Amino acid sequence: MATIAAPVERRGLLARPVAPRGIWAWVTTVDAKQIGILYGATAFIFFLIGGTEALLMRTQLAVPNANVVGPGTFNALFTMHGTTMIFMVVMPLSAAFFNYIVPLQIGARDVAFPRLNAFSYWVFLSGGLLMHFGFLIQQVPDVGWFAYANLTENAFSQRGVDFWVVGLQVLGVGSLAAGFNFLVTIINLRAPGLTLMRMPLFTWTTFITSILIVLAFPVITIALVELMFDRLFGANFFNTANGGDPILWQHLFWVFGHPEVYILILPAMGIVSEIVPVFSRKPLFGYPFMVYAVASIAFLSFTVWAHHMFTTGLGPIAASFFAASTMLIAVPTGIKIFNWISTVYGGSVRLNTPHLFALGFIAMFTIGGLSGVMHASPPVDTQQQDTYFVVAHFHYVLFGGSVLALFGGIYYWFPKITGRFLGEGLGQLNFWLMMIGFNLTFGPMHFLGVDGMPRRIFTYPAEMGWGLWNLVSTIGAYAIGLSVLVFIANVSKSLRAGERAGSDPWDGRTLEWSISSPPPHYNFATIPVVHGRDAFWLEKYPELEGHAAAAPDERRDRTAAHDAGEAHGHIHVPDPSYWPIATAAGILVAGTGVLFAMPLLPVGLFVVLVGVVGWSMEPVNG
Amino acid sequence: MEHVAALPAQAHVGETSTGLNSRKVLMWAFLGSDCMLFGSLIGTYLVYRGNYPSGPKPSDVFDIPYTSVSAFALLMSSLAMVLALAAIQRGDIRRLKIWLLCVAGLGLVFIGGQVYEFTTFGSEGLNLTTATFGSSFFTLTGFHGTHVTFGIVWLLMLWMLAARGQMTQARSLDVEIAGLYWHFVDIVWIIIFTVVYLIPAI
C-alpha cells in the first residue's frame, strides 16, 4: 500500500522493505494500527499469564493451611502478578488504543515517528521476555512489585531480582519512546481546526499520560540503575552496611510509582469519557472541567508519593503535606465522576456491553477512590498498611477501574478495528460474570484487611477466622477467569462470523467513525477539517448543534477524494522498516548478556549502534 | 482530481499543527525527561555526599582548579556550537565544519579530563564501592560523561556528513537539534559542578 509517485534513491545499509507479506508485514510494520493490534494481542497473552498467577494464589489461599504452592513460589507469584499486570498488561493495552485510536481521532495518517513507534513495541516485547527469562532457570523475581530495598541486595535475595531489574529497565525504554511519540503526535499532527479544547477526551488523556510517562520513567530508570550497580558492581546505594539508605529507594520508587498509577487509570478514564456520551447520545457533560481535571490529577500525582511511606516515619510536617495533597486529588477525580453521571442523566441511554463496562467502571472506581481517600489519613493508613484492605483498594481502582474500562474499550472499538461486532449476548454474559466475580473476589478483602490479614502471606491458620471470606474471594476469582474465557469465545466467534459493522455502528461522535471499518492503511484519504468538539457528530447533525456549517459539502468532497485516493494510490504513507526490530533485538541481546553472559552485552550494544546508524541512514519517505 | 493528489502530501510532510518541527518538539520533550533523570541522580548525591566513613573525603580528592579548566572547556564548546549553527544557517559549510570539530574537540578535552580525574580518584582510594559518596559521585558524573560522549559522536557524524557535502543550509535544523542537546548537557554540568565540587568546598 505504501505507494509513492516518484522513485526515490534507495541507499542505506539495507534496502527498505516494500509491501512485505505474511509475518514480514508484521515484523517490519510501522503502521500505528498494526502496531496497536500487536500491543493488544501481546498484552492479552500477558494478561492470561498474570491471571493464571492470580488464580494460583487464590487457590492456595482458598482454605487455611493449604499446600498448593510453597512460600517461595507464592512470593514469585505475587511479584510477577503485580509486575505483569501493571507493565505488561494495563500499560500496553492502553498503548494499543493510543496506537489504533489516537491518530484516527486527530485526523492523522500515522504517528509523528512511525519507526520509533514500532521500536517501542519491540522493546516492550523484549522487556517482557527478559522479565520472564528467570522462569527458564527457576530464578523468578520474588521481592514484590515495588522491590523494597534492602531485600533486593545480593546478600538477601537471589538472581530473580536481576531479571526484574533488567526487564523493567527495558520496559521503561519502550514506554519512554512511546510517551515521546504520542506527546509529539498530539501536539503536532492534529487535523486543521482541531484545537486543544476540541480534542476528544481519550486523546486528551493519552496526551496527559504521555507527559506523565516522559517525566516519571526517568526516575525509576535511575533507581533501577542504582540497584543494578549495587548488585553487579558492588555499589552501596541501598547497602546499609556501607551507609546506603533503603528509604531512598522508596522515595525514588514512589516518585515514579504514584504518577504510574495515573498512567494506568487516565487512559481508562479517557475510554469511559468516549463511551458514555455515545451511548447516552449526549455531549460529554462539562468538557472543559473534564480536561482541567485530568491535567490537575496529573500535576498532583507528582506531589503525593510519600503517602505510600507514612509508616516509615516521615515526621508530622511531611505526613501532613502528603495527606493534604492526597486528599486534594479527590476533588478533580470527584468532578470526573459527577460529570460522567451527569452525561448519562437525561440521555437516550443504550445499555449495551461497552456502556455496561463504562458504567461498571464508574461505580467500581468510585468505591476504590473512596478507600483511597481513607489511606490519605496517616493514622488510618498506619492501620491499613500491608493488609488486605490495601489489596482491595488498588484492585478496585486497577481492575474495577482500568481493566473494566479497557474491556469496554475493546467492545466499543472492536467493530472499528475488525469491521465486525462482538456478540452482544456473550458480551453481557462476559460483563456480568466479570462484575460479580470481581466484587466477590475483592469486596471481602476489605473485611479481611480490617480483620488484620496481612498481604503477601502464603497461608494462614484456621483460628484466625479468615477462612470464609478467603473462600468467597477464591470463588470470585474463578468467576473472573470464566468471564475471560467467555471473552475469548466471543472474540474468536466474532472474528470468524461476527455481524458486520458499518463505518459508524454506534452513531459515534469522533473522527474514527467517519472512515471505513477497518480503516484503510492511510486512515484518511483527505485530512478532515474540524469545526468543533465531537467533530463527526457535528458533521452528521449540524442542525442539532445549531451550526449551519458547510459540512455536507465537505463530506461529499471527502468521499470523492477517498475514491480518488483509492484509485490512484497517491497517498503517501511511511514504508515498513527492518531497523526498529533490529535495534530492539540489540537491546534484547544486551539485556540477555547482563543476565546470563557478559560477553553478549557488547555484542548487543554493537547491534544497537548498527541499528541506530542504519535507521538514520534509511531513506526517509515518511 | 489534481488538487486531490496534492492535499495528502501537504498534510503529512509539510505543516504541523503548531508550525514547529516534530523532531525539535521531540528533543525538547526528551530534555524535559532528562531533567528528571539528572534530578534523581543529583538528589541521590545530595543524600549521600556526606557519607565517607572509610574512604577519602571530597576535599581530599577534588582538585577544583583542575576541574574548573575542563568545565571552562565544556562551556566554551557551547559558544562554538552557537557559531556552528550560525554558519550553517548562513550556508557557510566551511565554517560549519570548523566549528563542529571545535565543539567535538572541546567536548573531548572535557571527557579526557574526566577520565584522568576518575583514574586519579581511583588511585587515591575513591571508587564506586567506596561507601555511598563514591557510588553516587561516580554514577552522577559518569551519567553526565556518557551524555557528553554521545553528543561528541553525534557531532562527529554531522561533521562527516558535512565533509561528504551532504549538509546544506536546508538541513540547519539537524545542527540546531544537536545544539539543543549539547547546550542542555552543558547546563547540567554547571549544576553538577556547583553541587558536587563548589558547595562542599565553601
Give yes or no for residue A620 having a pLDDT over 80: no
Task: Measure CB to CB from residue B139 to each of A216, A226, A255 and give the nearest one.
Answer: A226
Q: Which residues pair with A420 in a beta bridge?
A: A500
Contacts of A187 in chain B (CB under 8 A): 16-18, 20, 25
Pairwise CB contact (< 8 Å): A215 & B9: no
Task: Measure CB to CB from residue A214 to each of B9, B32, B132 and give the nearest one.
Answer: B32
Residue A542's pLDDT band (cuts 50, 70, 90): confident
Radius of gyration of chain B (CA): 21
Q: Is A8 on the interface with B (CB under 8 A)?
A: no
CA contacts within 13 A on the Cβ side of A285? 15
Pairwise CB contact (< 8 Å): A237 & B33: no
Residue A575's pLDDT band (cuts 50, 70, 90): confident
Maximum C-alpha span of chain B: 80
Angstrom CA distances, A52 to A75, A78, A144, A438, A472, stand at 15, 11, 17, 15, 18
Sign of CA dihedral A538, A543, A546, A551: positive
A225-271 residue pLDDT tens: 999 999 999 999 999 998 899 999 999 999 999 999 999 999 999 99
State residue A255's pLDDT score. Answer: 97
Residue A619's pLDDT band (cuts 50, 70, 90): confident
Average pLDDT (A279-305) is 96
Pairwise CB contact (< 8 Å): B135 & A235: yes
Contacts of B134 in chain A (CB under 8 A): 236
Q: Which amino acid makes up residue A468?
A: L
Residue A9's pLDDT band (cuts 50, 70, 90): very low
Rounded CA-CA distance A73/A373 in Å is 33
Residue A277's pLDDT band (cuts 50, 70, 90): very high
Closest-CA residue in chain B for A179? B29
CA contacts within 13 A on the Cβ side of A106? 33
Give yes or no for residue A18 having a pLDDT over 80: no
State residue B7's pLDDT score. Answer: 37
State residue B6's pLDDT score. Answer: 35
Pairwise CB contact (< 8 Å): A194 & B5: no
Pairwise CB contact (< 8 Å): B16 & A564: no
CB A175 within 8 A of CB A91: yes
Q: What is the DSSP string of A99-149?
A: HHHHHHHTT-SS-S-HHHHHHHHHHHHHHHHHHHGGGGGT----STTTT-T
Rounded CA-CA distance A102/B9 in Å is 20
Q: Which of A126, A53, A123, A55 is nearest to A84 (CA)?
A: A53
DSSP state letter for A9: -
Contacts of A571 in chain B (CB under 8 A): 8
Q: Buried b / exposed e across A458-469, counting CB within 10 Å, b at 16+?
A: bbbeeeeebbeb
Average pLDDT (A166-193) is 97
Residue A473's pLDDT band (cuts 50, 70, 90): very high
Closest-CA residue in chain B for A572? B9
Helix (H) or strand (E) segment spanning residue A573: none
Specify the range with the lowest mean pLDDT, choosing from A17-21, A26-30, A310-314, B86-90. A17-21
Phi (first) and psi of residue B181, to 5 degrees? -60, -45
A487-539 residue pLDDT tens: 999 999 999 999 999 999 999 999 999 999 999 999 999 899 999 999 999 99
Rounded CA-CA distance A216/B40 in Å is 10
Contacts of B167 in chain A (CB under 8 A): none
Phi (first) and psi of residue B65, to 5 degrees? -55, -40
Q: Is B135 on the interface with A (CB under 8 A)?
A: yes
Q: Is B9 on the interface with A (CB under 8 A)?
A: yes
State residue A10's pLDDT score. Answer: 45
A1 vs A180, residue with greater confidence: A180
Average pLDDT (A25-35) is 93
With cell 531512598, the residue in question is: A248
Pairwise CB contact (< 8 Å): B132 & A564: no
Task: Measure CB to CB from residue A183 to each of B16, B29, B139 and give the nearest one.
Answer: B29
CA-based nearest distance A557→chain B, Å: 9
Residues 54-73 of B with CB under 8 A from A: none
Average pLDDT (A66-80) is 96
State residue A427's pLDDT score. Answer: 97
Residue A24's pLDDT band (cuts 50, 70, 90): confident
Tell which phi-psi region holds residue B15, choosing left (phi > 0), alpha (psi between -120 and 50) or beta: beta
CA-based nearest distance A554→chain B, Å: 13
State residue A544's pLDDT score. Answer: 74
State residue A286's pLDDT score. Answer: 95
Rounded CA-CA distance B7/B121 in Å is 62
| A-to-B residue pairs, Cβ atoms closer than 8 angstroms | 137
We find that the CATH architecture of domain A31-574 is Up-down Bundle (1.20)
State residue A546's pLDDT score. Answer: 60
Q: Is B34 on the interface with A (CB under 8 A)?
A: yes
Helix/strand/coil percentages in chain B, nearest 5: 85, 0, 15
Rounded to the nearest integer, the mean pLDDT of chain A is: 92
Average pLDDT (A593-615) is 93
Give yes or no for residue A554 having a pLDDT over 80: no
Q: Buried b / exposed e across B10-44, counting CB within 10 Å, b at 16+?
A: ebbeeebbeeeebebbbbbbbbbbbebbbbbbbbb
Give yes or no for residue A5 having a pLDDT over 70: no
Write the CB contacts of A130 (distance below 8 Å, at least 6 apart in sequence): A163, A166, A167, A170, A588, A591, A592, A595
A404-452 residue pLDDT tens: 999 999 999 999 999 999 999 999 999 999 999 999 999 999 999 999 9
Task: Measure CB to CB from residue B7 to each of A110, A188, A527 and give the nearest one.
Answer: A527
The CATH class that applies to domain B22-201 reads mainly alpha
DSSP 3-state of A407? helix
State residue A616's pLDDT score. Answer: 85
Contacts of A255 in chain B (CB under 8 A): 40
Task: Measure CB to CB from residue A234 to each of B16, B17, B129 and give the nearest one.
Answer: B129
Percent of chain A with pLDDT over 70: 93
Q: Which of B171, B182, B177 is nearest to B89 (CA)?
A: B171
State residue A43's pLDDT score. Answer: 98
Q: Which of A271, A248, A264, A338 is nearest to A301 (CA)?
A: A264
Closest-CA residue in chain B for A523? B8
State residue B201's pLDDT score. Answer: 53
- State the angle between helix axes of A32-61 and A404-418 in degrees (0 to 180), rounded to the nearest 10: 140
A476-498 residue pLDDT tens: 999 999 999 999 999 999 999 99
Q: Quote the pTM value.
A: 0.93
CA-based nearest distance A216→chain B, Å: 7
Written as nine digits, the cell of A193 is: 481546526
CB A231 within 8 A of CB A165: yes
Write the CB contacts of B57 (distance below 8 Å, at least 6 apart in sequence): none
Ranges under pLDDT 50 in chain B:
1-13, 202
Q: Is A71 on the interface with B (CB under 8 A)?
A: no
Q: Where are the domains of chain A?
A: 31-574
Q: Where are the domains of chain B?
A: 22-201
Rounded CA-CA distance A591/A170 in Å is 8
